C-alpha cells in the first residue's frame, strides 16, 4: 500500500464511522422516546408511537407499544407490544404484554392482562381482564371477559359476559350469553342467550340456546331448558311468595316426573307417545292385596294426618308400582298407576254387575212370560169352571121337580092277599 494514500483512507473511514454514529444516534432519538410529544402524546420505550402522524392524547409505555399508530387518538398502551398494530382507532386501553396487539380499527376496547384481546382487529367496546381473556376475539362487539382464559376462543360473538376462569372458554360465535363462575358455559360454541351461574354451570351446553343453568352442568345440545341445582346435592327447595298466594283465572296443578322435571300436566297420554299397548285385563288384580294406611310425615311440622300406602309394602305386591331413587332404594308409590289399576278393577266389577243385571232381567222377563201364561191358563180354567157351574145350576131345579112328582105305581092301591 502506498503510504501517501493511508491518511486519505483513514479520513474516509473516520467520515463513514461518524456518519454511522450520527445515523444511529438519530434513530435512537427517533425510536427510544422518553417524554411528551406534540399534541399531548406521551411515549416511553423503544419504538413507541414512532409512526404517529395526527393522533392526539395517546400514551404508550413499553417496547413498541402503539408502534403502528398514525392518526388514532385517546389510546393508552402499557406493556410490550400493547396495541402494537393499532393505526387509526381511538379510545382503546391496553395493559399487559401484547394486549390488543393486533387491533387495527377497533375502538373503545379495554384489555388488561397477558395477551388479552390480542387477536382483536375491528371489534369495538369489548373489555377483557385476565391472562388470555378474549384472546382469539377478532371482530365481535360489546363483550366482557373477566378471568384468565375467559371467552378465550371467541371470534365473532357479540354481547357476551363471562366472569370467571375459562368462563365461555370455547365460545366461538355465540352471542348474548352470560357465564358467572369458573368454567361456566365452558363448552358452548355457537349457542345464544344462555345463562350459567355457578362453577361449571352449563358447562355441558354446546350449541343450544335460551338455556338457564344455575348450579347444574346442563345437557349437550338442549335448548329452552331451565335447570336449577344438581340431583343428589340439593334435596330440598324453598321459594318464598308461593304458599298461600291466590291467583285468578285458570289454575293448573304442577307435576314433577321421576327426573325432577316440572310441568303443568302429567306425561302425555296420546297414543302417539306410546308403544306395545295392551289391555290390562287381570294385571290390576294385584292392587286388591294393597293395604292402605294412615300416617304422619316425619318432616311435617303441621302434623297433618295423611292417607296412602307404604312403598316397601307395595313393592312386595307389585314392584312396577314403586319409584326408586338414584341409589336404587324404594322412594315412592306410582299413585297414577294405582289409580289406573283401580279404574280397571272398577270397570271389571261394573261389567260383571251389568252382565248379572242382564241375566236377572232376562230371567225376570222369562218368569214374567211364564206367569202371564199361567195367568192366562188359570183364567181359561176359571172360565171353564164358571161355565160348568152355570150349567150345573141350570140343571138342578128340573131334578127337584121330577123327584117331587108321585110315580104311577105309587097311586094304585095295593091288592089284598086272597089267602
Task: Dump the DSSP string for 226-291.
Answer: EEES-TTT------TT-TT----S-----EE-TT--EESS-S--SGGG--S----GGGGGGGGG--
pLDDT in tens, 33-51: 455 566 889 999 999 999 9
348: burial class by Cβ within 10 Å (0-12, 13-18, 19+)?
Answer: middle
127 contacts 110 by C-beta, under 8 angstroms: yes
Enclosing H/E stretch for 179: strand 178-180
pLDDT band at 254 (very low <50, low <70, confident <90, very high): confident
Mean pLDDT score across all residues of the chain = 86
Which letter does DSSP use for residue 37 in this model? -
Residue 2: the pLDDT is: 46
Mean pLDDT of 357-374: 92
Residue 38: the pLDDT is: 65
207 contacts 193 by C-beta, under 8 angstroms: no
Residue 410: the pLDDT is: 53
Residue 257: the pLDDT is: 75
Residue 262: the pLDDT is: 84
Q: Cell triple for residue 345? A: 278393577
pLDDT at residue 400 is higher than 60 = no
pLDDT in tens, 292-342: 999 999 988 899 999 999 999 999 999 999 999 878 999 999 998 999 999
314 contacts 290 by C-beta, under 8 angstroms: yes
pLDDT band at 231 (very low <50, low <70, confident <90, very high): confident
pLDDT in tens, 185-228: 999 999 999 999 999 999 999 999 999 999 999 999 999 999 99
337: burial class by Cβ within 10 Å (0-12, 13-18, 19+)?
Answer: middle
Helix (H, G, I), strand (E, B) or coil at 319: helix
Residue 415: the pLDDT is: 58
pLDDT at residue 15 is higher than 90 = no
218 contacts 203 by C-beta, under 8 angstroms: yes
pLDDT at residue 349 is higher than 90 = yes
pLDDT at residue 148 is higher than 50 = yes
Mean pLDDT of 268-296: 92
Mean pLDDT of 76-82: 97
Higher pLDDT, 40 or 128: 128
The CA–CA distances, whole Å, from 260 to 129, 236, 263, 266, 407 equal 38, 12, 10, 13, 123
Amino acid at each position: 500500500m502506498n503510504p501517501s494514500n493511508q491518511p486519505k483512507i483513514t479520513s474516509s473511514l473516520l467520515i463513514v464511522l461518524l456518519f454511522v454514529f450520527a445515523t444511529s444516534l438519530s434513530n435512537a432519538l427517533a425510536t427510544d422516546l422518553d417524554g411528551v410529544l406534540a399534541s399531548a402524546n406521551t411515549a416511553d420505550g423503544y419504538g413507541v408511537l414512532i409512526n404517529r402522524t395526527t393522533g392526539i392524547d395517546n400514551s404508550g409505555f413499553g417496547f413498541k407499544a402503539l408502534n403502528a399508530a398514525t392518526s388514532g387518538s385517546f389510546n393508552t398502551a402499557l406493556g410490550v407490544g400493547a396495541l402494537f398494530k393499532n393505526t387509526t382507532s381511538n379510545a382503546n386501553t391496553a395493559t399487559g404484554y401484547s394486549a390488543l396487539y393486533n387491533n387495527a380499527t377497533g375502538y373503545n376496547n379495554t384489555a388488561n392482562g397477558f395477551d388479552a384481546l390480542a387477536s382483536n382487529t375491528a371489534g369495538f367496546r369489548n373489555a377483557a381482564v385476565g391472562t388470555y381473556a378474549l384472546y382469539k376475539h377478532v371482530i365481535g362487539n360489546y363483550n366482557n371477559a373477566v378471568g384468565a382464559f375467559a371467552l378465550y376462543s371467541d371470534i365473532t360473538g357479540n354481547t357476551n359476559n363471562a366472569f370467571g376462569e375459562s368462563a365461555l372458554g370455547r365460545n366461538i360465535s355465540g352471542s348474548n350469553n352470560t357465564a358467572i363462575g369458573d368454567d361456566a358455559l365452558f363448552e358452548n360454541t355457537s349457542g345464544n342467550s344462555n345463562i350459567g351461574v355457578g362453577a361449571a354451570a352449563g358447562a355441558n351446553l354446546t350449541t343450544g340456546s335460551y338455556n338457564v343453568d344455575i348450579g347444574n352442568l346442563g345437557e349437550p345440545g338442549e335448548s329452552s331448558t331451565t335447570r336449577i341445582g344438581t340431583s343428589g346435592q340439593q334435596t330440598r327447595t324453598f321459594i318464598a311468595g308461593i304458599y298461600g298466594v291466590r291467583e285468578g283465572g285458570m289454575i293448573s296443578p304442577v307435576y314433577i316426573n321421576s327426573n325432577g322435571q316440572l310441568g303443568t300436566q302429567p306425561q302425555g297420554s296420546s297414543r302417539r307417545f306410546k308403544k306395545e299397548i295392551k289391555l290390562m285385563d287381570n294385571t290390576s288384580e294385584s292392587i286388591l292385596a294393597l293395604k292402605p294406611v294412615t300416617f304422619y310425615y316425619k318432616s311435617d311440622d303441621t302434623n297433618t294426618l295423611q292417607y296412602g300406602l307404604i312403598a316397601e309394602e307395595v313393592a312386595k305386591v307389585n314392584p312396577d308400582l314403586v319409584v326408586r331413587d338414584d341409589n336404587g332404594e324404594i322412594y315412592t308409590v306410582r299413585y297414577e298407576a294405582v289409580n289406573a289399576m283401580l279404574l280397571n278393577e272398577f270397570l271389571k266389577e261394573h261389567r260383571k254387575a251389568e252382565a248379572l243385571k242382564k241375566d236377572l232381567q232376562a230371567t225376570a222377563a222369562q218368569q214374567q212370560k211364564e206367569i202371564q201364561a199361567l195367568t192366562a191358563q188359570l183364567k181359561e180354567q176359571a172360565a171353564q169352571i164358571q161355565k160348568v157351574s152355570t150349567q150345573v145350576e141350570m140343571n138342578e131345579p128340573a131334578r127337584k121337580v121330577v123327584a117331587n112328582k108321585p110315580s104311577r105305581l105309587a097311586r094304585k092301591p095295593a091288592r089284598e092277599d086272597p089267602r
